[in-house]
Amino acid sequence: MRRLLLIGLAGALMAAGTLMAATGQVAALAKGETCAKIRHSKIVWVKVKRNGKVVKVKRKKVWWACDPYEAPGPPRLGVVAREFRLTFSRPYVKAGKLILEFNNQGEDVHNLRITRGSGGPVLASVDDTSPRQQKTIEIPLKPGTYRLWCALPSHAKLGMKTRLKVVAPNR
Protein backbone atom coordinates (compact mmCIF):
# COMPACT_ATOMS: atom_id res chain seq x y z
CA MET A 1 0.00 0.00 0.00
CA ARG A 2 2.78 2.35 0.96
CA ARG A 3 4.62 1.55 -2.27
CA LEU A 4 1.55 2.43 -4.38
CA LEU A 5 1.20 5.72 -2.53
CA LEU A 6 4.85 6.62 -3.26
CA ILE A 7 4.50 5.68 -6.93
CA GLY A 8 1.33 7.78 -7.24
CA LEU A 9 3.00 10.74 -5.52
CA ALA A 10 6.05 10.49 -7.81
CA GLY A 11 3.78 10.42 -10.90
CA ALA A 12 1.87 13.47 -9.70
CA LEU A 13 5.12 15.39 -9.11
CA MET A 14 6.39 14.55 -12.60
CA ALA A 15 3.11 15.67 -14.18
CA ALA A 16 3.18 18.92 -12.19
CA GLY A 17 6.79 19.57 -13.26
CA THR A 18 5.92 19.05 -16.93
CA LEU A 19 2.92 21.37 -16.61
CA MET A 20 5.01 24.05 -14.90
CA ALA A 21 7.66 23.85 -17.63
CA ALA A 22 5.05 24.23 -20.37
CA THR A 23 3.33 27.18 -18.69
CA GLY A 24 6.72 28.73 -18.01
CA GLN A 25 7.38 28.87 -21.75
CA VAL A 26 4.04 30.52 -22.40
CA ALA A 27 4.69 33.02 -19.62
CA ALA A 28 8.16 33.73 -21.03
CA LEU A 29 6.69 34.46 -24.46
CA ALA A 30 4.08 36.74 -22.90
CA LYS A 31 6.86 38.70 -21.17
CA GLY A 32 8.13 39.91 -24.54
CA GLU A 33 10.80 37.44 -25.62
CA THR A 34 12.22 38.16 -29.05
CA CYS A 35 11.92 34.62 -30.38
CA ALA A 36 9.79 31.49 -30.34
CA LYS A 37 11.40 28.38 -28.88
CA ILE A 38 11.16 25.42 -31.25
CA ARG A 39 11.85 21.85 -30.13
CA HIS A 40 13.76 19.68 -32.61
CA SER A 41 14.43 15.96 -32.34
CA LYS A 42 16.32 13.39 -34.37
CA ILE A 43 16.82 9.63 -34.09
CA VAL A 44 20.52 8.71 -33.93
CA TRP A 45 22.42 5.44 -33.59
CA VAL A 46 25.03 5.39 -30.84
CA LYS A 47 27.67 2.74 -30.11
CA VAL A 48 27.69 1.67 -26.45
CA LYS A 49 29.50 -1.04 -24.54
CA ARG A 50 27.26 -3.66 -22.91
CA ASN A 51 28.58 -6.76 -21.18
CA GLY A 52 31.96 -6.23 -22.79
CA LYS A 53 30.51 -5.96 -26.33
CA VAL A 54 30.02 -2.85 -28.46
CA VAL A 55 26.44 -2.60 -29.74
CA LYS A 56 24.47 0.02 -31.68
CA VAL A 57 21.57 1.57 -29.78
CA LYS A 58 18.87 3.88 -31.12
CA ARG A 59 18.59 7.16 -29.17
CA LYS A 60 16.55 10.31 -29.56
CA LYS A 61 18.56 13.53 -29.69
CA VAL A 62 16.60 16.64 -28.63
CA TRP A 63 17.61 20.30 -28.91
CA TRP A 64 15.92 23.70 -28.86
CA ALA A 65 16.26 26.52 -31.37
CA CYS A 66 15.11 30.12 -31.28
CA ASP A 67 13.03 31.39 -34.24
CA PRO A 68 13.12 35.22 -34.10
CA TYR A 69 9.88 37.15 -34.42
CA GLU A 70 9.62 39.70 -37.21
CA ALA A 71 8.86 43.25 -36.19
CA PRO A 72 5.61 44.49 -37.69
CA GLY A 73 5.95 47.11 -40.41
CA PRO A 74 4.18 50.44 -40.55
CA PRO A 75 0.38 50.36 -40.82
CA ARG A 76 -1.24 50.36 -44.25
CA LEU A 77 -4.14 52.32 -45.67
CA GLY A 78 -5.86 51.25 -48.86
CA VAL A 79 -7.35 54.01 -51.02
CA VAL A 80 -9.58 52.81 -53.85
CA ALA A 81 -10.29 55.24 -56.70
CA ARG A 82 -13.40 54.72 -58.79
CA GLU A 83 -15.14 57.19 -61.06
CA PHE A 84 -15.46 60.34 -58.99
CA ARG A 85 -15.08 58.87 -55.50
CA LEU A 86 -12.30 57.76 -53.13
CA THR A 87 -12.82 54.98 -50.56
CA PHE A 88 -10.58 54.15 -47.57
CA SER A 89 -9.93 50.69 -46.13
CA ARG A 90 -10.37 52.10 -42.59
CA PRO A 91 -12.00 55.21 -41.10
CA TYR A 92 -8.84 56.59 -39.42
CA VAL A 93 -5.14 55.81 -38.98
CA LYS A 94 -2.61 56.36 -36.18
CA ALA A 95 0.09 59.00 -36.48
CA GLY A 96 3.52 57.94 -37.67
CA LYS A 97 4.77 56.26 -40.83
CA LEU A 98 1.99 55.06 -43.10
CA ILE A 99 2.08 52.93 -46.23
CA LEU A 100 -0.63 54.20 -48.57
CA GLU A 101 -1.74 51.78 -51.28
CA PHE A 102 -3.52 53.64 -54.08
CA ASN A 103 -5.63 51.28 -56.19
CA ASN A 104 -7.28 52.65 -59.34
CA GLN A 105 -10.35 50.50 -59.99
CA GLY A 106 -11.96 53.04 -62.29
CA GLU A 107 -12.00 53.29 -66.06
CA ASP A 108 -10.04 56.56 -66.22
CA VAL A 109 -6.53 57.56 -65.17
CA HIS A 110 -6.47 58.94 -61.59
CA ASN A 111 -3.88 60.42 -59.23
CA LEU A 112 -3.85 61.48 -55.58
CA ARG A 113 -2.67 64.58 -53.70
CA ILE A 114 -2.47 64.91 -49.90
CA THR A 115 -2.40 68.13 -47.83
CA ARG A 116 -2.83 68.80 -44.15
CA GLY A 117 -6.06 70.56 -43.16
CA SER A 118 -8.04 72.43 -45.78
CA GLY A 119 -5.08 73.80 -47.71
CA GLY A 120 -1.37 74.33 -47.71
CA PRO A 121 1.45 72.61 -49.54
CA VAL A 122 1.08 69.13 -50.99
CA LEU A 123 2.70 66.71 -48.50
CA ALA A 124 2.61 63.65 -50.72
CA SER A 125 1.28 62.60 -54.09
CA VAL A 126 0.68 59.53 -56.20
CA ASP A 127 1.38 60.04 -59.91
CA ASP A 128 -1.13 59.27 -62.63
CA THR A 129 -2.23 55.66 -62.26
CA SER A 130 -3.72 53.74 -65.17
CA PRO A 131 -6.98 51.82 -64.74
CA ARG A 132 -6.62 48.55 -62.78
CA GLN A 133 -3.15 49.57 -61.56
CA GLN A 134 -1.83 50.09 -58.04
CA LYS A 135 0.90 52.33 -56.60
CA THR A 136 2.31 52.47 -53.08
CA ILE A 137 3.91 55.36 -51.19
CA GLU A 138 5.20 55.73 -47.64
CA ILE A 139 4.42 58.98 -45.80
CA PRO A 140 4.89 60.30 -42.24
CA LEU A 141 1.68 61.70 -40.73
CA LYS A 142 1.05 63.80 -37.61
CA PRO A 143 -2.30 63.82 -35.76
CA GLY A 144 -4.93 65.93 -37.50
CA THR A 145 -7.15 65.94 -40.57
CA TYR A 146 -5.76 65.51 -44.07
CA ARG A 147 -7.39 66.31 -47.39
CA LEU A 148 -7.01 63.82 -50.27
CA TRP A 149 -8.17 64.48 -53.83
CA CYS A 150 -7.63 63.59 -57.47
CA ALA A 151 -5.84 66.50 -59.17
CA LEU A 152 -6.99 65.75 -62.71
CA PRO A 153 -9.21 68.46 -64.24
CA SER A 154 -12.74 68.50 -62.75
CA HIS A 155 -12.32 65.19 -60.86
CA ALA A 156 -12.31 66.84 -57.40
CA LYS A 157 -15.33 68.97 -58.34
CA LEU A 158 -17.20 65.80 -59.36
CA GLY A 159 -16.57 64.17 -55.96
CA MET A 160 -13.07 62.67 -55.98
CA LYS A 161 -12.09 64.27 -52.67
CA THR A 162 -12.24 63.14 -49.07
CA ARG A 163 -10.75 63.70 -45.61
CA LEU A 164 -8.58 61.34 -43.56
CA LYS A 165 -8.48 61.51 -39.76
CA VAL A 166 -5.09 60.79 -38.15
CA VAL A 167 -5.20 60.13 -34.40
CA ALA A 168 -2.44 60.10 -31.76
CA PRO A 169 -0.50 56.80 -31.65
CA ASN A 170 -1.52 55.95 -28.06
CA ARG A 171 -5.24 55.81 -28.91
**What does the domain layout of the chain look like in residue ranges?**
32-69, 76-167
Q: What is the average per-residue pLDDT within 27-32? A: 52
**Dist. CA 106–CA 104, nearest whole Å:** 6
- Decide: 100 and 86 in contact? Cβ < 8 Å: no
What single DSSP character describes residue 63?
E
Fold of 76-167: Immunoglobulin-like (2.60.40)
**42, 53, 73, 135 from 153: Cα distances, Å:** 68, 92, 35, 21
In terms of pTM, does the model score above 0.85? Answer: no
pLDDT band with cut points at 50, 70 and 90 for residue 9: low
pLDDT for position 72? 78
Does the structure show a pLDDT above 80 at 71? no
